[in-house]
């Protein structure tokens, strides 16, 4: 029987009494020494990455559960992958009950930090950045938890991802909070997820600020029960630099919050301003698909009590400029593609106008749009999803 000692600062679980801190300093052979520490760590151990710059030539991986990887701070401990020879992640985690905190990952060839099938994972006070600014050749995702249950992203900063800065996919029970996404294609993206709270974040200078999507032909589909609230989503003005063929390559420059093909999403009490296409867009998935279980409509959507600033003066979708001109120089802050009329309940309880494009079907071309102002304030109330509650040890680790 292993006796448990007190929980170390930042650790996710009580550590065995023989748990240790493995210190790794920058310098010669940093690649080998750091990877060896991650391989040899035992459950309960802390891999302490020292202050300084680590010049790394290959990706790192961790597959040991209940390990904390901790630096001296995101501006003090920097893992630089500028010399990375492969095309993979900077750091890949495939184990449960892991805490990643207080360090930075720069210039990885692929994703910055990816965790796959890693339940109860915590990303805390981490920075991921491509230091050359927005480029199509940057890695796709900054922070990338996928196929997981219980995910906490807290106090994270991501800049320069060519897909999404903070991306959570095919997961359940998620909190993304207190984080900043800048100069990415998508700032924060929740895709094919169940039960997510996205709040108290800043999404600015991206192509699109916050995206909630559901896609066909994935192991987990039918994304639902997402709350996007008390965020600041402003000045999303970076031209779309996603590689062609990526779904986010279709996101118009100047998008604030975009909801696509998801169910029971509530957007409320956010500050939304200076997004040239729209502060909020509600759309269907528009590409052909062969998945019989997939519903392309956005449905049971609530948009309420947001603070709106300037929006819609230069909509970046096909025909947007002509539409703005026809409406006197701009479109309303909230835009709905009009699909699902009579099938998908969408409620907007705001003091700003809403424009419907009047498209009959998700695949209807933009040339068939019949734009008109609409009132979406009616209908029976749609129950707000319950707040996401994470396991107590995860919240303790984030303190």
3-state SS assignment for residue 38: helix
How far apart CA 278 and CA 308 sit, in angstroms, is: 10
Phi-psi region of 85 (alpha: psi -120 to 50; beta: other; left: phi over 0): alpha
109 found inside a domain: no
Which pLDDT tens digit goes with each residue over 40-88? 999 999 999 999 999 999 999 999 999 999 999 999 999 999 999 988 9
- Kindly state the greatest CA–CA separation across the chain: 75
3-state SS assignment for residue 308: strand
Tell me the CA distances in angstroms from 83 to 54, 55, 79, 133, 140, one per residue in order.
11, 7, 11, 17, 18
88 found inside a domain: no
Q: Contact 77/102 with Cβ under 8 angstroms?
A: yes
Which pLDDT tens digit goes with each residue over 107-158? 999 999 999 999 999 999 999 999 999 999 999 999 999 999 999 999 999 9
Average pLDDT of span 240-249: 95
192 found inside a domain: yes
- Give the model's confidence band at 367: pLDDT under 50 very low, under 70 low, under 90 confident, else very high: confident
74 found inside a domain: no
Q: In b/e form, how buried is each residue of 162-178, taking b as 16+ CB within 10 angstroms?
A: bbbbbbbbbbbbbbbbb
How far apart CA 60 and CA 197 sit, in angstroms, is: 29
Q: Phi and psi (nearest 5°) for 190?
A: -110, 115
Q: What is the pLDDT of residue 14?
A: 52
Tell me the CA distances in angstroms from 32 to 20, 35, 86, 90, 133, one per residue in order.
19, 5, 15, 14, 29
Nearest to 376 by CA among 360, 354, 395: 354
Dump the DSSP string for 149-209.
EEEEEES-EEE--SSEEEEEES-EEEEEES-EEESSSEEEEEES-EEEEEES-EEESSSEE
221 found inside a domain: yes
193 found inside a domain: yes
39 found inside a domain: no
63 found inside a domain: no
Which pLDDT tens digit goes with each residue over 143-154? 999 999 999 999
Number of domains in the chain: 1
How far apart CA 398 and CA 177 sit, in angstroms, is: 11
Average pLDDT of span 248-256: 97
Tell me the CA distances in angstroms from 171 to 114, 184, 192, 386, one per residue in order.
13, 22, 7, 17
Q: Which two tokens stand for residue 352?
A: 């700003």
**Residue range of the domain that includes 174:** 130-386
Burial class (CB in 10 A: 0-12, 13-18, 19+), 353: middle
Q: Contact 350/335 with Cβ under 8 angstroms?
A: no
How far apart CA 228 and CA 252 sit, in angstroms, is: 20
How far apart CA 206 and CA 204 sit, in angstroms, is: 5
How far apart CA 70 and CA 10 sit, in angstroms, is: 8
- Whole-model pTM: value is 0.94
């Amino acid at each position: 029987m292993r006796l448990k000692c007190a929980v170390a600062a930042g650790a996710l679980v009580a550590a065995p009494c023989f748990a240790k801190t493995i210190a790794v300093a920058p310098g010669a052979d940093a690649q080998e020494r750091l990877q060896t520490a991650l391989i040899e760590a035992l459950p309960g151990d802390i891999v302490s990455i020292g202050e300084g710059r680590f010049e790394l030539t290959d990706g790192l991986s961790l597959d040991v559960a209940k390990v904390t990887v901790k630096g001296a701070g995101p501006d003090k401990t920097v893992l630089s992958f500028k010399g990375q020879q492969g095309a993979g992640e900077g750091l890949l985690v495939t184990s449960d009950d892991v805490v990643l905190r207080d360090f930075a990952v720069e210039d990885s060839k692929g994703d910055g930090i990816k965790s796959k099938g890693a339940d109860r994972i915590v990303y805390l006070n981490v920075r991921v950045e491509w230091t050359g600014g927005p480029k199509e050749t940057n890695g796709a995702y900054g922070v990338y938890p996928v196929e997981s249950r219980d995910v906490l992203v807290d106090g994270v900063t991501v800049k320069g991802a060519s897909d999404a800065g903070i991306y959570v996919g095919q997961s359940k029970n998620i909190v993304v909070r207190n984080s900043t996404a800048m100069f990415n294609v998508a700032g924060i993206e929740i895709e094919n997820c169940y039960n997510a709270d996205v709040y108290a974040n800043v999404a600015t200078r991206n192509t699109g600020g916050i995206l909630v999507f559901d896609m066909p032909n994935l192991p987990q589909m039918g994304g639902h029960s997402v709350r996007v609230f008390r965020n600041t989503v402003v000045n999303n003005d970076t031209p779309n630099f996603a590689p062609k063929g990526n779904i986010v390559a279709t996101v118009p420059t100047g998008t604030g919050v975009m909801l696509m093909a998801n169910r029971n999403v509530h957007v409320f009490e956010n500050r939304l301003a200076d997004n040239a296409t729209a502060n909020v867009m509600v759309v269907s998935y528009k590409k052909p698909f062969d998945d019989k279980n997939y519903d392309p409509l956005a449905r049971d959507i609530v948009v309420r009590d947001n603070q709106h600033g300037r929006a819609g003066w230069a909509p970046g979708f096909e025909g947007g400029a002509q539409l703005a001109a026809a409406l006197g120089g701009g479109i309303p802050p909230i835009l709905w593609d009009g699909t699902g009329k009579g099938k998908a309940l969408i409620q907007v309880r705001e003091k700003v106008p809403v424009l419907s494009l009047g498209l009959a079907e998700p695949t209807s071309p933009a040339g068939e749009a019949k734009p008109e102002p609409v009132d979406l304030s009616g209908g029976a109330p749609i129950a707000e999803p319950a707040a996401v509650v994470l396991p107590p040890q995860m919240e303790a680790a984030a303190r």
